[in-house]
Amino acid sequence: MSEARNVAFLGLGVMGGPMAGHLARNGHKVTVYNRTAAKAETFAARHPGARFAKTPREAAGGADIVFACVGNDDDLRAVTLSPEGAFAGMRPGAIFVDHTTASAEVARELFAAAKALGLGAVDAPVSGGQAGAENGALTIMCGAEPEIYAQAEPVMAAYARACRLMGPPGSGQLTKMVNQIAIAGLIQSLSEALHFAKTAGLDAAAVIDLIKNGAAQSWQMENRTKTMLAGEFDHGFAVEWMRKDLAICLAEARRSGAKLPIAALVDQFYAEVEAMGGKRWDTSSLIARLER
């Protein structure tokens, strides 16, 4: 357990809420802010010593580290750069750690803004989902200056299974993008495989049970096949969130010149899933599109 610090946490959603809880249980003095204030009040009531604030600026006052886990680039700019944003309240030398999955561009923009104010900044998107947040077993991918990272890392340990500095500011977001790109076509291929198996009259579960020992194996195959075959799509990351992430990937690829033909096509497939009413289904719902 790290030395107790004064910390602020902005955004108490399905990820941020449990993460802030781990910080409080690890002995840090936590002040929370949430756009819907009731959540912040409830959090403070449930965690001894925790307080809530009415603005990010107020939450950030006196904090050594300010964490954020919000929806997207615009939400992130609002809680940091606006007049009532955190940056206006942070003391020089304090560090901003962003757990939002956002663009590498906004990560660099916030780093520059922080630097100008004498603040540190770490872009630190996570993977592991709601369960990972609740169990304190997230993978955290960081972009930062090494000396800033070194200060933030012991505090993030409260909810990390693995936490790694991947490079300069923006590198955390870029690493998270690599993860999402690898997953997109993988789930589509698994969907096609299961769909093909069912159409061929095979026992798809028995097929997976056999082939999962070989070169087709994946975490998705081991953990999502059963629910996919049952048509249950409420076991993880939602389609609309995945589309947000893929939009970030595709925009970054447009800048860097990287070619992502399958990621781009799977994004379009997810658009069709959304049109089927699947915005909130989990990412494995690509199979539902094949089975219309």
Q: Which residues are catalytic?
A: 176
Q: Given candidates 38, 116, 200, 230, which one binds a second copy under the rule CB under 8 A?
A: 200
Paired strand residues for 141:
164
Q: Given candidates 2, 77, 167, 279, which one binds a second copy under the rule CB under 8 A?
A: 167
Work out how close the CB of 204 gets to a second copy at its nearest, in angstroms, rounded to a whole number: 8
Interaction of residue 259 with a second copy, rule CB under 8 A = yes
Beta strands in 126-179 (DSSP E): 126-127, 138-143, 160-167
Interaction of residue 14 with a second copy, rule CB under 8 A = no
DSSP 31: E
Interaction of residue 54 with a second copy, rule CB under 8 A = no
d(CA 103, CA 89): 24
C-beta separation of 288 from 232 below 8 A:
no
Among 220, 202, 213, residue whose Cα is nearest residue 285: 220
The interface region with a second copy, picked from 2-10, 22-30, 66-74, 246-254 by CB under 8 A, is 246-254
Residue type, 239: V
Interaction of residue 146 with a second copy, rule CB under 8 A = no
Residues 16-45 that bind a second copy (CB under 8 A): none
Interaction of residue 135 with a second copy, rule CB under 8 A = no
Q: Which two tokens stand for residue 80?
A: 């940091």
* Helical ranges in 26-138 per DSSP H: 37-46, 56-60, 73-81, 104-116, 129-134
Interaction of residue 99 with a second copy, rule CB under 8 A = no
C-beta separation of 285 from 291 below 8 A:
no
Question: What residues make contact with a second copy under the rule CB under 8 A?
Answer: 104, 127-129, 139, 141, 161-162, 164, 166-167, 171, 174-175, 177-186, 188-190, 192-197, 199-204, 206-207, 210-211, 213-221, 223, 236-237, 249, 252-253, 256-263, 265-266, 269, 290
